[in-house]
Amino acid sequence: MFSHIKELQYNAKPSQPDPVYAKKLQEILGGQYGEMSVMMQYLFQGWNCRAENKYKDMIMDIATEEIAHVEMIATMIAQLLDGTPAHDQEQGAKDPAVEAVLGGMNPQHAIVNGLGAQPNDSVGFPWTARYTIASGNLLADFRANLNAESQGRLQVCRLYEMTTDPGVRDMLSFLIARDTMHQHQWMAAIEELEQTQGAIVPSTFNQEYEKQEVSYSFMNFSQGEESSTGRWANGSTVDGQANFEYVQNPEAMGQIPTLQPGPPYIHGTR
Protein backbone atom coordinates (compact mmCIF):
# COMPACT_ATOMS: atom_id res chain seq x y z
CA MET A 1 0.00 0.00 0.00
CA PHE A 2 1.21 3.48 -0.82
CA SER A 3 0.27 6.68 0.92
CA HIS A 4 0.83 10.15 -0.54
CA ILE A 5 1.78 13.24 1.43
CA LYS A 6 1.53 16.75 0.00
CA GLU A 7 5.13 17.80 0.60
CA LEU A 8 7.72 16.94 -2.02
CA GLN A 9 10.83 15.02 -0.96
CA TYR A 10 12.83 18.13 -1.92
CA ASN A 11 12.08 21.56 -3.33
CA ALA A 12 11.20 21.89 -7.02
CA LYS A 13 11.00 25.66 -7.53
CA PRO A 14 12.43 27.28 -10.66
CA SER A 15 13.34 30.96 -10.52
CA GLN A 16 11.48 31.72 -13.74
CA PRO A 17 9.60 29.96 -16.55
CA ASP A 18 11.67 28.29 -19.26
CA PRO A 19 9.63 26.18 -21.71
CA VAL A 20 12.69 25.19 -23.73
CA TYR A 21 14.42 23.76 -20.66
CA ALA A 22 11.18 22.03 -19.66
CA LYS A 23 11.47 20.07 -22.89
CA LYS A 24 15.04 19.03 -22.00
CA LEU A 25 13.99 18.00 -18.51
CA GLN A 26 11.57 15.48 -20.01
CA GLU A 27 14.56 13.19 -20.65
CA ILE A 28 15.16 12.46 -16.96
CA LEU A 29 11.43 11.97 -16.45
CA GLY A 30 10.32 9.71 -19.30
CA GLY A 31 13.56 8.75 -21.02
CA GLN A 32 15.22 5.34 -21.05
CA TYR A 33 17.21 6.15 -17.91
CA GLY A 34 14.72 8.59 -16.43
CA GLU A 35 12.97 8.44 -13.08
CA MET A 36 9.92 6.67 -14.50
CA SER A 37 12.14 3.84 -15.70
CA VAL A 38 13.94 3.25 -12.42
CA MET A 39 10.68 3.68 -10.49
CA MET A 40 8.96 0.92 -12.47
CA GLN A 41 12.08 -1.25 -12.61
CA TYR A 42 12.54 -1.20 -8.86
CA LEU A 43 8.84 -1.62 -8.10
CA PHE A 44 8.57 -4.79 -10.15
CA GLN A 45 11.86 -6.12 -8.82
CA GLY A 46 10.52 -5.58 -5.32
CA TRP A 47 7.07 -7.01 -5.96
CA ASN A 48 8.59 -10.09 -7.64
CA CYS A 49 11.39 -10.58 -5.09
CA ARG A 50 11.59 -14.13 -3.67
CA ALA A 51 14.90 -13.67 -1.88
CA GLU A 52 15.63 -12.62 1.71
CA ASN A 53 13.32 -10.00 3.17
CA LYS A 54 16.17 -7.51 3.53
CA TYR A 55 16.55 -7.37 -0.25
CA LYS A 56 12.83 -6.91 -0.87
CA ASP A 57 12.66 -4.20 1.77
CA MET A 58 15.69 -2.39 0.35
CA ILE A 59 14.33 -2.53 -3.20
CA MET A 60 10.94 -1.19 -2.08
CA ASP A 61 12.65 1.62 -0.15
CA ILE A 62 14.38 2.93 -3.25
CA ALA A 63 11.41 2.21 -5.52
CA THR A 64 9.17 4.36 -3.36
CA GLU A 65 11.75 7.15 -3.32
CA GLU A 66 11.80 7.11 -7.12
CA ILE A 67 8.04 7.79 -7.13
CA ALA A 68 8.89 10.95 -5.22
CA HIS A 69 11.50 11.89 -7.82
CA VAL A 70 8.96 11.50 -10.62
CA GLU A 71 6.65 13.88 -8.76
CA MET A 72 9.47 16.40 -8.20
CA ILE A 73 10.47 16.51 -11.86
CA ALA A 74 6.87 16.62 -13.10
CA THR A 75 6.23 19.53 -10.73
CA MET A 76 9.35 21.33 -11.94
CA ILE A 77 8.36 20.90 -15.59
CA ALA A 78 4.88 22.27 -14.92
CA GLN A 79 6.33 25.34 -13.21
CA LEU A 80 8.84 25.91 -15.99
CA LEU A 81 5.82 26.07 -18.31
CA ASP A 82 3.90 28.55 -16.15
CA GLY A 83 2.66 31.57 -18.08
CA THR A 84 4.60 30.79 -21.22
CA PRO A 85 2.55 29.95 -24.29
CA ALA A 86 -0.59 31.90 -25.13
CA HIS A 87 0.33 35.55 -24.67
CA ASP A 88 3.96 35.11 -25.63
CA GLN A 89 3.06 33.28 -28.80
CA GLU A 90 0.76 36.12 -29.79
CA GLN A 91 3.68 38.50 -29.33
CA GLY A 92 6.09 36.23 -31.18
CA ALA A 93 5.48 37.78 -34.59
CA LYS A 94 6.32 41.20 -33.13
CA ASP A 95 9.42 40.01 -31.28
CA PRO A 96 11.77 37.66 -33.23
CA ALA A 97 13.71 36.84 -30.06
CA VAL A 98 10.59 35.53 -28.32
CA GLU A 99 9.61 33.63 -31.46
CA ALA A 100 13.03 31.97 -31.58
CA VAL A 101 12.82 30.89 -27.95
CA LEU A 102 9.32 29.52 -28.28
CA GLY A 103 10.43 27.63 -31.36
CA GLY A 104 12.28 25.27 -29.04
CA MET A 105 9.30 24.60 -26.83
CA ASN A 106 7.56 21.24 -26.96
CA PRO A 107 4.16 22.18 -28.42
CA GLN A 108 2.52 19.17 -26.76
CA HIS A 109 3.25 20.70 -23.37
CA ALA A 110 0.62 23.28 -24.26
CA ILE A 111 -1.64 21.44 -26.70
CA VAL A 112 -1.86 17.99 -25.13
CA ASN A 113 -0.77 18.37 -21.52
CA GLY A 114 -2.16 21.78 -20.60
CA LEU A 115 1.22 23.13 -19.45
CA GLY A 116 2.16 19.94 -17.66
CA ALA A 117 4.74 17.18 -17.85
CA GLN A 118 4.22 14.12 -20.00
CA PRO A 119 5.42 10.49 -19.77
CA ASN A 120 7.75 10.99 -22.74
CA ASP A 121 11.43 11.67 -23.30
CA SER A 122 12.90 14.97 -24.52
CA VAL A 123 12.09 14.29 -28.19
CA GLY A 124 8.54 13.11 -27.52
CA PHE A 125 9.11 9.35 -27.62
CA PRO A 126 6.66 7.78 -25.17
CA TRP A 127 7.96 5.97 -22.13
CA THR A 128 7.83 2.20 -22.55
CA ALA A 129 7.94 -0.69 -20.14
CA ARG A 130 10.64 -2.24 -22.34
CA TYR A 131 13.06 0.08 -20.54
CA THR A 132 12.61 -1.91 -17.33
CA ILE A 133 14.44 -5.03 -16.14
CA ALA A 134 13.09 -7.39 -13.49
CA SER A 135 14.50 -10.86 -14.18
CA GLY A 136 14.12 -12.46 -10.75
CA ASN A 137 17.90 -12.89 -10.46
CA LEU A 138 18.95 -10.15 -8.06
CA LEU A 139 22.61 -10.08 -9.06
CA ALA A 140 21.66 -9.57 -12.71
CA ASP A 141 19.03 -7.01 -11.75
CA PHE A 142 21.29 -5.07 -9.39
CA ARG A 143 23.91 -4.76 -12.12
CA ALA A 144 21.22 -3.36 -14.41
CA ASN A 145 20.22 -0.99 -11.61
CA LEU A 146 23.80 0.22 -11.24
CA ASN A 147 23.90 0.96 -14.96
CA ALA A 148 20.57 2.81 -14.77
CA GLU A 149 21.76 4.98 -11.88
CA SER A 150 25.09 5.62 -13.63
CA GLN A 151 23.43 6.72 -16.87
CA GLY A 152 20.80 8.68 -14.96
CA ARG A 153 23.35 10.58 -12.89
CA LEU A 154 25.34 11.36 -16.04
CA GLN A 155 22.25 12.85 -17.70
CA VAL A 156 21.27 14.91 -14.66
CA CYS A 157 24.82 16.30 -14.45
CA ARG A 158 24.64 17.29 -18.11
CA LEU A 159 21.28 18.99 -17.54
CA TYR A 160 22.76 20.82 -14.56
CA GLU A 161 25.33 22.34 -16.92
CA MET A 162 22.57 23.42 -19.34
CA THR A 163 20.86 25.85 -16.97
CA THR A 164 21.82 28.75 -14.74
CA ASP A 165 18.48 28.83 -12.92
CA PRO A 166 19.39 28.50 -9.21
CA GLY A 167 16.09 26.82 -8.34
CA VAL A 168 16.45 24.19 -11.05
CA ARG A 169 20.09 23.59 -10.14
CA ASP A 170 19.13 23.19 -6.49
CA MET A 171 16.70 20.38 -7.30
CA LEU A 172 19.14 18.75 -9.71
CA SER A 173 21.91 18.86 -7.11
CA PHE A 174 19.66 16.88 -4.78
CA LEU A 175 18.92 14.28 -7.47
CA ILE A 176 22.63 14.02 -8.31
CA ALA A 177 23.40 13.36 -4.64
CA ARG A 178 20.74 10.68 -4.39
CA ASP A 179 22.08 9.03 -7.56
CA THR A 180 25.48 8.98 -5.87
CA MET A 181 24.00 7.09 -2.94
CA HIS A 182 22.02 4.76 -5.17
CA GLN A 183 25.16 3.79 -7.10
CA HIS A 184 26.88 3.04 -3.80
CA GLN A 185 23.80 1.09 -2.70
CA TRP A 186 23.76 -1.17 -5.74
CA MET A 187 27.54 -1.65 -5.67
CA ALA A 188 27.34 -2.71 -2.02
CA ALA A 189 24.45 -5.10 -2.73
CA ILE A 190 26.29 -6.55 -5.75
CA GLU A 191 29.41 -7.08 -3.65
CA GLU A 192 27.38 -8.88 -0.99
CA LEU A 193 25.64 -11.14 -3.50
CA GLU A 194 28.90 -11.98 -5.27
CA GLN A 195 30.34 -13.25 -2.01
CA THR A 196 27.56 -15.82 -1.68
CA GLN A 197 26.62 -16.50 -5.31
CA GLY A 198 29.82 -15.88 -7.24
CA ALA A 199 30.48 -13.29 -9.91
CA ILE A 200 28.87 -14.98 -12.91
CA VAL A 201 25.10 -14.97 -13.53
CA PRO A 202 23.46 -17.40 -13.09
CA SER A 203 25.61 -19.16 -10.53
CA THR A 204 23.26 -22.15 -10.45
CA PHE A 205 24.08 -23.29 -14.02
CA ASN A 206 26.58 -26.16 -14.13
CA GLN A 207 29.69 -24.92 -15.98
CA GLU A 208 30.34 -28.47 -17.18
CA TYR A 209 27.64 -27.83 -19.78
CA GLU A 210 29.36 -24.83 -21.33
CA LYS A 211 32.25 -24.97 -23.82
CA GLN A 212 34.85 -24.38 -21.10
CA GLU A 213 37.83 -24.10 -23.45
CA VAL A 214 36.57 -20.62 -24.42
CA SER A 215 35.07 -19.60 -21.07
CA TYR A 216 38.03 -17.38 -20.17
CA SER A 217 39.51 -16.51 -23.57
CA PHE A 218 39.63 -12.87 -24.64
CA MET A 219 39.60 -12.89 -28.44
CA ASN A 220 41.11 -10.06 -30.46
CA PHE A 221 38.61 -9.47 -33.25
CA SER A 222 39.82 -5.99 -34.25
CA GLN A 223 43.02 -4.38 -35.53
CA GLY A 224 45.62 -3.55 -32.93
CA GLU A 225 46.72 -5.30 -29.76
CA GLU A 226 46.13 -2.57 -27.20
CA SER A 227 43.39 -4.64 -25.59
CA SER A 228 45.93 -7.30 -24.63
CA THR A 229 47.20 -5.14 -21.74
CA GLY A 230 43.84 -4.99 -19.95
CA ARG A 231 42.81 -6.77 -16.78
CA TRP A 232 40.34 -8.81 -18.86
CA ALA A 233 43.18 -10.48 -20.80
CA ASN A 234 45.73 -11.20 -18.08
CA GLY A 235 45.98 -12.93 -14.73
CA SER A 236 43.39 -14.64 -12.61
CA THR A 237 39.76 -14.46 -13.62
CA VAL A 238 37.30 -12.58 -11.44
CA ASP A 239 35.68 -15.79 -10.22
CA GLY A 240 39.09 -17.23 -9.29
CA GLN A 241 38.47 -20.38 -11.31
CA ALA A 242 41.08 -19.88 -14.04
CA ASN A 243 43.44 -17.44 -15.74
CA PHE A 244 42.48 -15.20 -18.64
CA GLU A 245 43.84 -16.22 -22.04
CA TYR A 246 44.56 -13.66 -24.75
CA VAL A 247 43.92 -15.00 -28.25
CA GLN A 248 45.59 -12.73 -30.80
CA ASN A 249 44.30 -14.37 -33.99
CA PRO A 250 41.16 -16.36 -33.16
CA GLU A 251 40.28 -18.99 -35.72
CA ALA A 252 36.83 -19.78 -37.00
CA MET A 253 35.49 -22.89 -35.25
CA GLY A 254 32.26 -23.41 -37.16
CA GLN A 255 31.16 -24.77 -40.50
CA ILE A 256 30.61 -22.84 -43.72
CA PRO A 257 26.83 -22.40 -43.65
CA THR A 258 24.90 -23.98 -46.53
CA LEU A 259 21.14 -23.66 -46.51
CA GLN A 260 18.64 -25.83 -48.33
CA PRO A 261 16.45 -24.18 -50.97
CA GLY A 262 13.16 -22.90 -49.62
CA PRO A 263 9.90 -24.68 -50.48
CA PRO A 264 8.09 -23.52 -53.64
CA TYR A 265 5.43 -21.54 -51.77
CA ILE A 266 8.11 -19.17 -50.41
CA HIS A 267 8.91 -18.07 -54.00
CA GLY A 268 12.55 -17.50 -53.16
CA THR A 269 15.47 -17.31 -55.59
CA ARG A 270 16.72 -20.73 -56.78
Which residues are known binding-site members for Mn(2+)? Answer: 35, 66, 69, 149, 182
CA–CA separation, 207 and 216 (whole Å): 12
Evaluate the omega torsion of the peptide bond into residue 166 and state whether it is cis, within 30 degrees of 0. Answer: no
Task: State the angle between helix axes of 35-47 and 53-80 in degrees (0 to 180), rounded to the nearest 10.
Answer: 160
Annotated binding site for Ca(2+): 57, 61, 220, 222, 224
228 within 8 A of 244, measured Cβ to Cβ: no
CA–CA separation, 17 and 83 (whole Å): 7
Residue 164 CB contacts under 8 Å (≥ 6 apart), including other chains: none
Amino acid at 193: L
CA–CA separation, 66 and 35 (whole Å): 6
42 within 8 A of 145, measured Cβ to Cβ: yes
CA triple 235-238-231, angle to 5 deg: 45
Annotated binding site: 35, 57, 61, 66, 69, 149, 182, 220, 222, 224
Short-list 198, 195, 192, 201, CA closest to 144: 201
